[in-house]
Amino acid sequence: MNRSAPRRPSLRRRLLVFLLIPMIALLMFDAVLSYGVALTYANRVHDRDLSDDAVTLAKLLDNDRLGSQLTPQARFLLEYDPDGRSYFNVRRGSGGLLAGNGQLPQPAHAPALGAAPTLYDTRLDQHTLRAATVHVAARHAAGDSLIVTVAETLHDRREQAREILLLAVLMQTFLIVCLLALVWFGVTRGLRVLDPLTAQLAGRSLELTPIDGADVPQEIQPLTRTIDALFGRLRSMLDLHDRFIADAAHQLRTPLTGLSLHVERALADPRPETVADALGHIQRLTHRAARTSSQLLALMRAQTAPGDPGESRLLDLARLIPEAVTQRVHEAIRAGVDLGYAGSAQPLHVLGDAAGVQDMLDNLIDNAMRYAGRGSNITVQLQAREDGGATLSVEDDGPGVPSELMSRLSERFFRVAGGNEAGSGLGLAIVQSIARRHHAEVVYQAGSGQRGLRVEIRFPPATRGRAST
């Protein structure tokens, strides 16, 4: 059954969604705000008209010619309302209703004589009304006054606010649609700056040069710098592979050539003593080739192992190192070497990789056993430092190394002149690579009494991790 491929994320779609959702929310908020502003504006206009109507009606009623009576035309105009009715009420200040079309409730505080109209909300016949009351002197009745109240429903106010809101929303929606179209066009055009970079990468074969240049936009520089860092790691890895191939070819050429010569010698002279001598040489050369290959692979692993601190653990060297030394005692006895350990039994923790630390110690012991020779003494020592770190040292009492050559001991394939030719010259280079991965320092110095060689691995203090079990 064929299943459709999962939909890939789109940067263009994500940008547009991130813009569209806030715009819709902003439009809704603006609609509520616009309706509130429109309703406030409509209320203000209608309140002003309502106050003017109350004052006008009061003046009209106070006209001597009208005799405090409304004409039918004035009553019709006051009562006309498309949504219901307009209401009015005229009372004497001394009491009594002169005219009106409803019992309008009066405000909580009666307006003062001659003061501006009082506006208030009220209800009549289940209608919510807005009313205006004015208190004026009656010229036709000495000592008396008129209280005129005019009220209207809220239909016109709300209708006007809705019309304003509709116009505002339509206009703003149009503007947002135009803005989104511009954003779409801008995002599409803006993403085209990636086209030259894409074409540049597509046109490369095995070229791993940096791609971050002056023409790369600053917004995508983190991406290009990450790619350049990846290219740098790949270049380093490829360089290591090329170096490994070259080193393997260089180091294995001599033993393989020797193997070929001794095989030809045995074939050319089949006498038993010649064949036995040739087989002895072949065995030694085979062991040398095998050791060189093993050392090359160990160096490659040490150089290419990930250096992620998250993979490290808190190691107790006071427990790890004695166990590793114990495993080499029988080999040292066969080689005629006195191998010993000196160190405190108190826990001594460093942050690192147990297998890497053991490989480092094995190479240091191998190096000391090969170059110190039979009858020598090798001491592995573990000490705590005042800064919280630890120092692991391997010291022998062999012929030692001239001081001017100490700095070259970590070079690959470097061997001190006159030393044991069976060595590959890779042991201390492996030690250096593993120590670097553990942020440790390798120090070479003369042994006690200026005899032999002392190699110290100075581990930094352990600040995190968990205890190794």
* Domain positions in the chain: 13-162, 221-304, 309-459
What is the edge-to-edge ordering of all strands in the sheet holding 390-396? 338-343, 377-384, 390-396, 453-459, 441-446
Please list the residues that pair with 120 across neighbouring strands: 131
**Distance between CA atoms of residues 311 and 358, nearest Å:** 16
* Confidence at residue 177, expressed as pLDDT on a 0 to 100 scale: 82
Q: Per-residue pLDDT tens for 33-78?
A: 888 888 888 888 888 888 888 888 777 766 644 444 556 655 665 5
The CATH architecture to which 309-459 belongs is: 2-Layer Sandwich (3.30)
CA distances from 12 to 18, 180, 188, 201, 297 (A): 10, 12, 7, 21, 48
The CATH architecture to which 221-304 belongs is: Orthogonal Bundle (1.10)
**Distance between CA atoms of residues 245 and 379, nearest Å:** 36
pTM over 0.75, yes/no: no
Identify which of 362, 357, 397 has the alpha carbon closest to the alpha carbon of residue 377: 397
The answer to whether domain 13-162 has CATH 3.40.1350 is no
- Dihedral sign (CA 415, 419, 423, 429): negative
CA distances from 219 to 9, 17, 189, 209 (A): 19, 19, 15, 21
DSSP 315-375: EEHHHHHHHHHHHTHHHHHHTT-EEEEEE-SS--EEEE-HHHHHHHHHHHHHHHHHHH-TT
Q: What is the pLDDT along the chain (469 residues), one digit of tens a residue?
A: 455 556 667 777 777 777 778 878 887 888 888 888 888 888 888 888 888 888 887 777 666 444 445 566 556 655 555 555 577 777 777 667 777 766 778 887 778 888 888 888 888 777 788 888 888 887 665 567 878 888 888 888 888 888 888 888 888 888 878 877 887 787 777 777 777 777 767 666 666 777 766 666 666 777 777 777 777 777 777 776 676 666 666 566 767 777 888 888 888 888 888 888 888 878 877 876 776 677 667 666 666 665 544 457 888 999 999 998 988 888 889 889 999 999 877 888 898 888 888 888 888 998 888 888 888 999 999 998 888 889 999 999 888 888 888 888 877 667 666 555 455 667 788 888 888 888 899 999 988 888 889 999 999 988 744 444 3
Identify which of 213, 208, 182, 180 has the alpha carbon closest to the alpha carbon of residue 196: 213
Please list the residues that pair with 149 across neighbouring strands: 89, 133
Q: How crowded is residue 435: how many other Cβ atoms within 10 Å of its Cβ?
A: 22
